[in-house]
Structure 1
Amino acid sequence: MDLETVRTFMAAADTGRFQEAAAELGVTQQAVSKRIAALERALGVRLFDRTARGAEPTIDGRAFLPHARELLRAAARAVASVGAGRGRLRVDVLSSRGAASGLMRDFHRAHPEVELDVLMLFDMDTAVASLRSGAIDATFRAVTAPGRPLPDDVDSARVLDEPLELLTGPGHALAGARSVSVAQLAGQRIWMPGIVPGTEWAAYYDALLAAYDLTIEATGPNFGSDALLDTVADTPALATFMGARTRLVWPAGYDLRRIPVTDPVPVYPHSLLWRRGDPHPGLAALRAHLAAVAPAHSGPGTWAPDWANRR
């Protein structure tokens, strides 16, 4: 939809006259009439009735009015979110339900004065390229997977070691356990269709499988977490891994179980990456906040890939 025609519609509706709308927009009255006619053709309805008093919105025009206002507000927000001088701190997280998203919600509550744009970029290469170009200010990633050293102008700090949990349905053989050791998982069907080859989380699980002789099934399309929960709840033989800080909600009838994994505790190493020299004051506030509230490294009895601390 052409936003100029929507803006013209709003001006005509607010002023009640095409002539006044033209003066407000700095165009001719004929241009206003043409734009309104184009919008009416696009919508397939008449938006104004011409009266002695000017232009009165029709029933369809009045119905369209609040949506037109919201379209223009959305356009203004979109423009404000991009370009130099935007002022917002842009941070990339992998998932809206994951640990990094939770850390950003905590940061926002602690620092409401910092305006945020939270994005979700899929792969690490895109995230690092976006950092280096200045398109984003920070990203949460597992650093550094084999074969992916960070560029010299990108810094990182490990901010959270997130324990893994086993998620099962009520009929699973381990459903009643208070915790489960890594050794007990040998031979279990652990299904994770969201593992994509070449990603840092694929490298993490490859290292875990190699270290403890486990098997993960990544077969089938990934229809998202809701479909995964449906399948695990209905299939006693299946379980899946999830981070302890992953926020999920499911129907009470599913009776799913989140079971801590121990001996050792596998932890997923979340790091914050940023471009060296980025002057955004919100970035300094974010780094200080994470250093104060997030346990960067777990103690003895935990496991992480040996590449987790490398640059």
Structure 2
Amino acid sequence: MELQQMRYVVAVAETANFTRAAEQCLVVQSALSHQIARLERELGAKLFDRTSRSVRLTPAGEAFLPAARQALDAAERARAEVAAAAGEIRGRLAIGAIPTVTAVDLPVALRRFHLRHREVRISLRSGASEEFVERVRQGTLDVAFLGLPLGVRPKGVRGRELARGDLVAVVAPGHPLADKEHVKLDRLADERFVDFPAGSAGRIQSDEAFAAAGVRREVAFEVSTPDFMARLIRQGLGVGMLPAAFVSQLPDLPVVRLSDAPARVEHLIWSRHRPSPAAAAFLSALGVPASSEEAESGA
């Protein structure tokens, strides 16, 4: 069994197409198909069900894929460790970030890191905090930037609190509250809201604040990105709740500060295990001691 064969299997699984997988791996399709067939003979099981219209993993393929990915990651990590011993940082750096991260200017930080470590392959995924905690624990992300309610700490990872801030209400131009500087949450009781999906960290902080104020509200629109939220708010379809530090990116929307505002904490997290050379270099560039015991989050 060879690493190249595993790469071919992973590529076919991800593209669901032998031709696209071959292009991705920079080989002719016949060579890729031949190597996968050799591997199947060695394993004594088919890895793919292949028809003229589709390619799907068999149960054996589903079982093989996670182990193949782990083997490829281990081989890449080994090469990166050897390079680091010689003073060269290389390998991959997989980052997760919520769309509203503000404590770090992430595009600027990534540009600086790329210019300094050009052999590192950087990938960035935008999504939800709760997803990123699990992916860092599993090792599919090296580091992640989160936004969590006050008092909530990510479990099973190392981390550092980056910043704290309040949420503010964001309304459409011409809204009756658009000229108000401060209101209490109960002034929003009759509004329809645009918010993040129920159960997400971005939603929980708002729900808890309204519950503590004894205010019931209607969330009519659930969206996953602040850009989409802003588009709905501009049309007068609802009121949104966003971090005060983020709303400067929406200069056309009036902001209403809340005297009993929900608070949010931004965190940077990484694995409890030894970080890869690329991840350690990125954490160092952010001024974070990756191995500090003080950085340990909950078990």
1:108 is matched with: 110
1:157/1:272 contact within 8 Å kept: yes
1:93 is matched with: 97
2:173 is matched with: 170
Residue of 264, 267, 285 corresponding to 1:268: 264
Once the two structures are TM-superposed, the CA of residue 290 in structure 1 deviates from its matched residue by 4.5
Once the two structures are TM-superposed, the CA of residue 208 in structure 1 deviates from its matched residue by 1.3
CA distance in 2, matches of 1:167, 1:229: 8
Residue of 125, 131, 138 corresponding to 1:119: 125
- Whether 1:191 aligns to 2:193 is yes
- Higher deviation after alignment, 159-168 or 226-235: 226-235
Identity %: 17
2:206/2:262 contact within 8 Å kept: no
Pick closer, same or farther for the CA change 1:241–1:202 going to 2, 3 Å. closer
Pick closer, same or farther for the CA change 1:266–1:226 going to 2, 3 Å. closer
Pick closer, same or farther for the CA change 1:287–1:212 going to 2, 3 Å. farther
Listed one character per residue, the Cα deviations across residues 170-222 of structure 1 (whole Å, up to 9, x for unaligned) are 22112123x2243574535151242322x222332222113333444223453
CA distance in 2, matches of 1:169, 1:113: 43
Pick closer, same or farther for the CA change 1:288–1:164 going to 2, 3 Å. farther
Listed one character per residue, the Cα deviations across residues 89-126 of structure 1 (whole Å, up to 9, x for unaligned) are 2111122xx225963223224433244211134461x4
1:93/1:100 contact within 8 Å kept: no
**TM-score, structure 2 normalization:** 0.56
Pick closer, same or farther for the CA change 1:282–1:101 going to 2, 3 Å. farther
2:93/2:278 contact within 8 Å kept: yes
2:12 is matched with: none
1:142/1:270 contact within 8 Å kept: yes
- 4+ runs of 1 displaced by more than 6 Å? 144-149, 247-250
Aligned counterparts, 1:199-214, within 5 A = 199-214=200-215
Residue 91 of structure 1 aligns with an amino acid whose one-letter code is I
Pick closer, same or farther for the CA change 1:262–1:129 going to 2, 3 Å. closer
Higher Cα radius of gyration: 1
CA distance in 1, matches of 2:104, 2:171: 23
CA distance in 2, matches of 1:170, 1:4: 49
Once the two structures are TM-superposed, the CA of residue 265 in structure 1 deviates from its matched residue by 5.3
Q: SS of the counterpart of 1:88?
A: strand
Residue 108 of structure 2 aligns with an amino acid whose one-letter code is D
Work out the number of aligned pairs and report it. 221
